[in-house]
Structure 1
Amino acid sequence: MTDPLIPATLAFRDDGTPFSPAYDDVYHSAAGAFAQAHHVFIAGNGLPQRWREKRVFTILETGFGIGGNFLATWAAWRADPARCERLHFVSIEKHPFSQQDLSEVHSRIVADATITPLAQQLGDAWPTLVPGIHRIEFEDGRVTLTLAFGDALDILPKLWLRADAFYLDGFSPAKNPDLWSLPVFKSLARLAADGATFATYTSAGHVKRSLEQAGFSAEKVEGFGWKRAMLVGEFAPRWRVRRHEPPLPLPVGERHAIVIGAGLAGCALTERLTARGWRVSLIDQHAAAAREASGNPAGVFHPLISRDDSVASRITRAGFLYALRRWRALEQSGYSFQRSAHGLLHLAVDDEETRAMADAIASLGYPPDFVTPASQADAQALAHVALPRGGWLYPRGGSLDPAALCRAQCDAAGDLLARHFGVEALRVERFDDQWRVIDAAGQPIASAPIVVVANACDAARAADLRHAPTRIVRGQLTLLPARVASGLRVPLIGEGYAVPLADGFTLTGATYEVDDADRAMRVSGHAENLERLALMMPGVANELATSDPGTLEGRVAFRCVTSDRLPMAGALADEAAASRNAAALRGAWPLDLPRAAGLYGAFAYGSRGLVWATLAAELIASQIEGEPWPIERDLAESIDPARYLLRALRHGTLD
């Protein structure tokens, strides 16, 4: 079970230096946070010289603290005309400050006019204090801060990236010995690029010896402030210290990718790839984007709370929070997709669930801006309708128009997007170092070094996958007349869901019919939706007493799901190569599997396309570019499209 976050306590010493009561240590030298950052970490790692002329440069920091090192590095990057194209700054923090406290610290320590606006941007973008990885983008994505909230001993083994430089920061080895231990340094060695450098203000002998034992060279140099010496060095192992090499960008002759499927999955991929300068050919069998399930009049978005903080909960939490950040960026660029703004109410099924979820929210330490219990009275006041019981409120949850979101993502791609609509992608095939997409007539549609299949249950067929099982689930929605449930003010979920639309209409549903491909509207489907709605909103039964379900309008769409109800997102396996080497791969882990170079999948999002699509797209784009992954590696492996192949190998059932 995930440990709840314990935020840092805001405190200052008499000289104004930020101080941690928990560790009895200061966050930076009394000589100044930014002077320390420049001397110890920036200059100690040979920056800015080492990032010049590079496309991507990645820094990994072991303690974010007040963010001084990040802000100083960001400012140095901005000031360097020969800077790298994209700067990734990954930092771990066990006890993050609240947004208010971080802003208070910055107001006291930031006097440099070049740092002040950066500190303001950081404060404005500061994430909700929940465990896990939070990705924040600045400078139109050219500076990316990836914050990992949690204990470094737990999180470091779960990161997957190639670090060019390490900022070994944190409270002193005497105050926080775990952060300066051999297991931490071995985890860093697993992530180090060839020639990666490190710098740290400490010069303790046991730290130097542990770094050398992990594969780093280390030497003492002039320290900062009252410290006479500090340590710098580089990754220079005299023996093999890791089983797998950290990720590299996929070598391609041109930055061109094909995305098959123009629903939520494909349009999110289009936006994330073009944001990195990739040219994208988007293929869909329909005449426009979002014509299947992504074309529903509205969709809901919210986290998933579970008492054990399951894998599904962690992935959904990460996806929800990252989607909110990307949607906000689109909205700030002038795009609109009718996103609701007053939260989403999750109605408990019974009193036992009410108590259980309230206990889970408290034990996991979730802050009220993420989720908060709602009594029956509070829920009714929020919803403006009578409800049988309370539940819990997601203040940042809600509903939006998925088709409008897809259009916004495609429009944001600009001239880098080529649309190939009204043509069916039957299969993909390898030709030299390219992938070709073939239509139903056997003619090529487009070719590129990268292909992502994002066309739901057709994805496995298009990519010729035998070990990526999915099932189709029919879902029928019901559109209520304007006079019915017209008082509802926020999206409501529970036994089903109800979403208030424009002009007083309400959308409710949806049915869940596995392996049913019938597109025809059914009276029984409307009746089922109304029955579930009445359990959540008893007053609806009276409003519909004289209505005939057969006269109601609605829509039928199809979900694509896996047996574990998790999505497929990531690099596809080379199943033929795996089959040939099945005996050797029987004990394999995901990184051991042979992959089909340049072939990726993004499908089987079920009912959670809105909260999974953007994060999955960022994961795939990061894999292609060799960038730090936006989620923990164990979570990425749980949604790996090759996970069913891996199970077959382990069980010796690969045919």
Structure 2
Amino acid sequence: MSFDTIVALDTDFDSARFGAVCIRHGGQRLHFIALAPRPVDAGQLPEPWRKQWPPFVPGLHRMLSPDGLVTLDLLIGDVDAGLAQLSARIDEIWLAAVPSSLTVLARLMADGAHLYAAQLGDGQRAALQKAGFVFDDSRLRAVFQRRGAGPALAVKPERRAIVIGAGLAGAAACERLAARGWRLTLIERHGQPASEASGNLAGIFMPQLSKDDNVATRLVRAAYLYALRHWQTLGGVGTGYEGEQCGVLQLARDAQHAQVQRQIAATALPPPEFARWLEAPEASTMLGSPAPHGAWWFAQGGWARPSSVCAAMLDACGSLLTRRFSRSAVTLQREQDEWLVRDGDGSLIAQAPTVILAAGNGAIHLAQAASLPLDAVRGQVTHLAQGSLPELPFVLCREAYMTPAHQGIVCVGATYDADGDASLRATSQQENIGKVADILGVPSFDAPLAGRTGFRCVAPDRLPLAGALPNPSVPGRCERLRDVPRWPGLFGLLGYASRGLIWAPLAAELLACQLEGEPLPVEVQLAEALDPGRFLLRERRRSGAA
């Protein structure tokens, strides 16, 4: 259970019931988790909730009240599948729909949790009693009494942490923890934030679609939609920071690729505000040139300047944040339950019980993170003068992307290179221009060499690392993630590849929930897919099998 917070669960979301619970617990922190097996009419909810309401797409969608006291998690999808994917300790449950597995339900209950039901059959009541619920005379209210030892209770953390790296990952970590009252020291080797991979003039935000709705697709969807909601608290795109929610047109590569996209559109039936498939005539009209294979239109997508997003997140921390810039963290040492961070000459920069590595590729220069399988992938973005290419009011992408002009500059890119050359290369620029010119159906051309080179931090499965870092120096057999040895108080937010804008808010929220013992903002399967220990687990499984 999260500290000083009532955690409630509704097995079939009802807006009136949610409102009544909010009133009953007014002034307290409330975390309300609601399953939604069918579309929900949010029209009866107050405007702040309607403004955040997600499209009806599968997954867990987190929303927050303006005063920060109420968190609403809407888990869209099948009730039984949803319960199995929750990580929470429930204090109150409204049993509008009785799940098939009461064992799964009992696993989520806190000892002494209250159950309320509108109606129950004798067989359902008997099954609930067998699972540990003790009913009163109403036969519709019960208290859960755990039999045997339950899960260990979370220990309230000391809310002090050091964050290493002031890009999107580190800034989001600071913002999410400061919102929970943590005192933070941010260490950055450069003189200002967003000086490495987060320093591009524009980053693209858009969802991902796949035929099988795999784990990566679900994670990108969760991150994208969470980012859109969370950015509202920072003032919104184009107001709280530079950017524009202008939409993204993603063209199909060829006829075969287009056929797969049509199958996705026909089977997934995404809401049009989330994603809409356009056949060639409509896509061509939008583009102003031939788009023979059609395109996806992501109306809520767009672009943002990462450095301005970082600034907005750091400013939101207020006095809880201490900035230590132009300082390089070279060593980490654990002494008396605290980490000591020292620079190259051994001088102490900061100390705290918790350290979060958010320095991208630089993290592996610290001994404790040296074994993480992270690669630096070069990406060169080209900056073109406005008017160099046909102007579009939205982001265009296929093999490359093009942003709308902003302050006279169009961003085109980005390359994927395996070398470490940080300089601008004419060959990379020509590659970017050639790809976008081909998409637009115009001749390629030469332009003054201009742009920026950065290095993406990429894991083998192209998913981020968010959570407690593994300690490979501790031997032992590992069968599950919980068996993986960890460094005490050492966490990572790494490997954001090309999607740092949307990964950063959700991954930081996930880590903050882990540290605070709160319900997780994503399904258990998705949280496990981001666990930094997954690579050591695979390695030890292989070595154990051998």
Q: TM-score range by the shorter chain?
A: over 0.9
Partner AA of 2:144 in structure 1: E
Residues 352, 614 of structure 1: alpha-carbon distance in 2 compared, 3 angstrom cutoff: same
The secondary structure found in structure 2 opposite 1:630 is: coil
Where does 1:53-64 land on structure 2 (aligned, <5 Å)? 55-64=4-13
Which of residues 168, 172, 179 in structure 2 aligns to 1:264?
168
In structure 2, how many angstroms separate the alpha carbons of the residues matched to 1:59 and 1:479?
50
Offset of 1:199 from its aligned partner?
A: 2.4
In structure 2, how many angstroms separate the alpha carbons of the residues matched to 1:345 and 1:595?
43
Offset of 1:440 from its aligned partner?
A: 1.7
Aligned to 2:133: 217
Aligned to 1:609: 500
Which of residues 556, 561, 564 in structure 1 aligns to 2:458?
561
Which of residues 423, 427, 433 in structure 2 aligns to 1:530?
433
**Alpha-carbon RMSD:** 2.3
Q: Which moved more, 1:594-603 or 1:331-340?
A: 331-340
Offset of 1:132 from its aligned partner?
A: 0.4
- Contact 2:166-2:186 within 8 A present in 1 as well: yes
Aligned to 1:95: 38
Residues 540, 625 of structure 1: alpha-carbon distance in 2 compared, 3 angstrom cutoff: farther
Aligned to 1:274: 178
Offset of 1:306 from its aligned partner?
A: 0.8
Deviation readout 1:170-202 (Å, 9 max, x if unpaired)? 3xxxxxxxx343x1x211222222333322233
Aligned to 1:69: 17
The secondary structure found in structure 2 opposite 1:618 is: helix
Which of residues 117, 122, 133 in structure 2 aligns to 1:205?
122
Aligned to 2:109: 192
In structure 1, how many angstroms separate the alpha carbons of the residues matched to 2:473 and 2:19?
48
- Contact 2:363-2:370 within 8 A present in 1 as well: no
Are 1:148 and 2:75 counterparts?
Answer: yes
Offset of 1:162 from its aligned partner?
A: 1.6
In structure 2, how many angstroms separate the alpha carbons of the residues matched to 1:418 and 1:565?
32
- Contact 1:133-1:318 within 8 A present in 2 as well: yes
In structure 2, how many angstroms separate the alpha carbons of the residues matched to 1:379 and 1:476?
28
Residues 389, 484 of structure 1: alpha-carbon distance in 2 compared, 3 angstrom cutoff: farther
The secondary structure found in structure 2 opposite 1:425 is: coil
Deviation readout 1:244-289 (Å, 9 max, x if unpaired)? x27x54533x311111111111111111111111111111110000
Q: Which moved more, 1:254-263 or 1:291-300?
A: 254-263
Offset of 1:401 from its aligned partner?
A: 0.6
In structure 2, how many angstroms separate the alpha carbons of the residues matched to 1:209 and 1:334?
56
Partner AA of 2:379 in structure 1: G
Residues 180, 611 of structure 1: alpha-carbon distance in 2 compared, 3 angstrom cutoff: closer
In structure 2, how many angstroms separate the alpha carbons of the residues matched to 1:593 and 1:453?
19
Aligned to 1:406: 310
In structure 2, how many angstroms separate the alpha carbons of the residues matched to 1:57 and 1:164?
6
In structure 2, how many angstroms separate the alpha carbons of the residues matched to 1:432 and 1:628?
30
Deviation readout 1:547-593 (Å, 9 max, x if unpaired)? 3x5x221111000101111111112223333x1xx13x3xx211333
In structure 2, how many angstroms separate the alpha carbons of the residues matched to 1:180 and 1:569?
31
- Contact 1:488-1:500 within 8 A present in 2 as well: yes
Offset of 1:159 from its aligned partner?
A: 1.1
Are 1:622 and 2:537 counterparts?
Answer: no
The secondary structure found in structure 2 opposite 1:500 is: coil
Where does 1:172-183 land on structure 2 (aligned, <5 Å)? 179-181=98-100, 183=101
Q: Which moved more, 1:640-649 or 1:589-598?
A: 589-598
Partner AA of 2:426 in structure 1: V
Are 1:166 and 2:93 counterparts?
Answer: yes
In structure 2, how many angstroms separate the alpha carbons of the residues matched to 1:149 and 1:458?
38
The secondary structure found in structure 1 opposite 2:225 is: helix
Larger Cα-atom Rg: 1
Are 1:502 and 2:406 counterparts?
Answer: yes
Residues 474, 70 of structure 1: alpha-carbon distance in 2 compared, 3 angstrom cutoff: same
Offset of 1:622 from its aligned partner?
A: 0.4
Residues 627, 406 of structure 1: alpha-carbon distance in 2 compared, 3 angstrom cutoff: same
Offset of 1:463 from its aligned partner?
A: 5.5
Are 1:234 and 2:174 counterparts?
Answer: no
Partner AA of 1:646 in structure 2: L
Residues 555, 487 of structure 1: alpha-carbon distance in 2 compared, 3 angstrom cutoff: same
TM-score w.r.t. structure 1 length? Answer: 0.79
Offset of 1:334 from its aligned partner?
A: 9.8
Offset of 1:539 from its aligned partner?
A: 1.9
- Contact 2:237-2:243 within 8 A present in 1 as well: no
Aligned to 1:643: 534
In structure 2, how many angstroms separate the alpha carbons of the residues matched to 1:376 and 1:203?
53
Aligned to 1:25: none
- Contact 2:284-2:292 within 8 A present in 1 as well: no
Partner AA of 1:219 in structure 2: F
In structure 2, how many angstroms separate the alpha carbons of the residues matched to 1:358 and 1:55?
48
Identity among equivalent pairs (%): 38
TM-score w.r.t. structure 2 length? Answer: 0.95
Which of residues 224, 241, 249 in structure 2 aligns to 1:345?
249
Aligned to 1:42: none
Aligned to 1:425: 329
In structure 2, how many angstroms separate the alpha carbons of the residues matched to 1:512 and 1:378?
31
Deviation readout 1:403-426 (Å, 9 max, x if unpaired)? 100000001111111111111111
Partner AA of 1:210 in structure 2: A
In structure 2, how many angstroms separate the alpha carbons of the residues matched to 1:348 and 1:568?
30
The secondary structure found in structure 1 opposite 2:244 is: coil
Partner AA of 2:119 in structure 1: T
- Contact 1:533-1:540 within 8 A present in 2 as well: no
- Contact 2:249-2:295 within 8 A present in 1 as well: yes
Are 1:574 and 2:471 counterparts?
Answer: yes
Residues 73, 317 of structure 1: alpha-carbon distance in 2 compared, 3 angstrom cutoff: same
- Contact 2:79-2:99 within 8 A present in 1 as well: no
The secondary structure found in structure 2 opposite 1:403 is: helix
Deviation readout 1:202-221 (Å, 9 max, x if unpaired)? 3432222212322x232233
Offset of 1:504 from its aligned partner?
A: 4.1
- Contact 2:35-2:74 within 8 A present in 1 as well: yes
Aligned to 1:520: 423
- Aligned residue pairs: how many? 546
Residues 192, 563 of structure 1: alpha-carbon distance in 2 compared, 3 angstrom cutoff: same
Residues 468, 250 of structure 1: alpha-carbon distance in 2 compared, 3 angstrom cutoff: farther
Q: Which moved more, 1:400-409 or 1:351-360?
A: 351-360
The secondary structure found in structure 1 opposite 2:216 is: helix
Unpaired runs of 5+ residues, structure 2, are none
Offset of 1:94 from its aligned partner?
A: 0.6
Partner AA of 1:535 in structure 2: D
Offset of 1:461 from its aligned partner?
A: 3.3
- Contact 1:189-1:235 within 8 A present in 2 as well: no
In structure 2, how many angstroms separate the alpha carbons of the residues matched to 1:454 and 1:653?
31
Aligned to 1:354: 258
In structure 2, how many angstroms separate the alpha carbons of the residues matched to 1:316 and 1:233?
38
Q: Which moved more, 1:348-357 or 1:554-563?
A: 348-357
In structure 2, how many angstroms separate the alpha carbons of the residues matched to 1:388 and 1:276?
50
Unpaired runs of 5+ residues, structure 1, are 1-49, 107-117, 171-178, 223-228
The secondary structure found in structure 1 opposite 2:361 is: helix
Deviation readout 1:584-617 (Å, 9 max, x if unpaired)? x3xx211333333321110011001112111000
Partner AA of 2:427 in structure 1: S
Residues 540, 423 of structure 1: alpha-carbon distance in 2 compared, 3 angstrom cutoff: farther
In structure 2, how many angstroms separate the alpha carbons of the residues matched to 1:304 and 1:273?
28
- Contact 2:467-2:492 within 8 A present in 1 as well: yes
In structure 1, how many angstroms separate the alpha carbons of the residues matched to 2:237 and 2:298?
25
- Contact 1:568-1:639 within 8 A present in 2 as well: yes
